[in-house]
Chains A and B, each alone.
Chain A
Amino acid sequence: MNTQATSDTPREIQKTPAEALANVPVVAPRVDVFENADEVLVLADVPGIDKESLVVRLENETLHVEAKARVEKTSGALYREFREVSYERSFRVPLGIDTAAIDAELSHGVVRIRLPKTEQRKPKQIKVKFGSA
C-alpha cells in the first residue's frame, strides 16, 4: 500500500506569508500507520494543538493533516525545549478507500484518522464448491 508520506519535510515551502513572518517552524508530526482488513489507521502525535486549528483535508487523493501547537505566552523562561510549531503532513490515500467515510478524532494530543476500505476492497472468502467432476 502506498500510505507513504508524500512530503516528509514540508517545512519552508508550504508556509503561508503570515507564518513566514511569525517564524513558526513547520514540522512533520510523528505518525503510526496500521492496516487491517477493514481500514487503514493513522495516528499522529500533535501535543498542545489548538483544537480549532486542526484540519484534516482530502484533496487529489492526498490526505493532509495540519494543526498549530500553541505554547502559553509567558515571561520568565528558565528553560525552553519546545515552542509553537505548525504540524503538517500529507499521505497518498491508497485505492479502495471509502473517502466519504474517513473520520478523525483528537484525544490526549493524538489525532486518530480512520480510513475505511470500500466493500470491493475488503478481503472476501470464496466459497469452494465441491462437485463430482
Chain B
Amino acid sequence: MFGDFRDFDRTFAAFDQLRSRLDRAFDDVAFETRGRASVGDVPINVYDRGEHFLVLAEIPGAKEGDVDVTVHQNVLTLRAKRSTKVPEGYSVHRRERPTFEFARSLTLPTKIDAEAVTARLEDGILRLELTKAKDARPRQIAVRAS
C-alpha cells in the first residue's frame, strides 16, 4: 500500500522536474522576445521582503490617472491603461507601441494590510509596497537559555 503512494509521489516529482526544465528553457527566450511580441503585456515582478511585498510593473507611458490598484485580503488587482494615439496631422511610418487596457489579479501568500499600501509611478515603472497583515509578518522569537 505504501509502495503505491510512493509511485504516486514519484509521478508528481517527474512533473515538477519537467516543469522546472521547461521554465529554464523558456526563461531566456521570454526575455529576448520582449519588446516585439505579446501586445498589451505588462510584466510584473513580486518580491517578499519580510514585512511587506514589493510589486514592480512595467507600464511605459502610463500616468497617474491610468493606474488603479485594489487590495482585498490577499488578492492584489492591478488595472492600467495607456493609449498611443497618432498625433494630430502626422502620418505613420511605424507603429509598434500598443494601446492597452490591462487587468490582472495576483494572489499573494499572506493577507495584506489594505491601509498600508503605497503606490508610486516613476519612469514607467509602477512600484507598490504592500504591508503584510499583522499576524502574517515575521516575528523574532527570543531564545532563552534555561
Contacts and interface: CB of A to CB of B under 8 A. Distances in A.
Interface of A: 1, 3-5, 11, 25, 27-37, 40-41, 43, 45-49, 51, 71-72, 74-83, 85, 87, 106, 108-110
B94 A33 contact: yes
The residue in B47, B49, B60, B87 that gathers the most chain A C-beta atoms within 10 A of its C-beta is: B60
B35 interface: yes
B43 interface: yes
Q: Enumerate the 4 nearest inter-chain pairs by beta-carbon distance, A residue then B residue, closest first.
A: A109-B124, A47-B124, A81-B43, A34-B90
B96 A110 contact: no
B61 A78 contact: no
Interface string B82-103: 0010110111111111100000
Contacts of B31: 25, 27, 82-83, 85
A58 B125 CA distance: 28
10 contacts: A28-B36, A32-B86, A34-B91, A36-B90, A45-B97, A74-B49, A78-B48, A82-B43, A82-B45, A110-B61
A78 B47 contact: yes
Nearest to A39: B90
A80 B59 contact: no
B111 to A, nearest CB: 15
Given A76-B47, A76-B49, A108-B62, A31 B56 contact: no
Interface residues of B, number: 44
Contact of B60 (A40, A77, A109): A109
Interface in B30-60: 30-32, 34-36, 43-50, 53-54, 56, 58-60
Interface string B11-22: 000000000000
Given A72-B54, A109-B125, A110-B61, A30 B90 contact: no
Given A3-B94, A29-B35, A36 B89 contact: yes
A60 B15 CA distance: 54
B58 A47 contact: yes
Given A32-B96, A77-B46, A81-B45, A11 B63 contact: no
A5 B36 CA distance: 13
Contacts of B60: 45-47, 108-110
Given A71-B56, A108-B60, A110-B124, A1 B84 contact: no
Contacts of A33: 92-95
Given A36-B89, A48-B58, A82-B34, A31 B94 contact: yes
B123 interface: yes
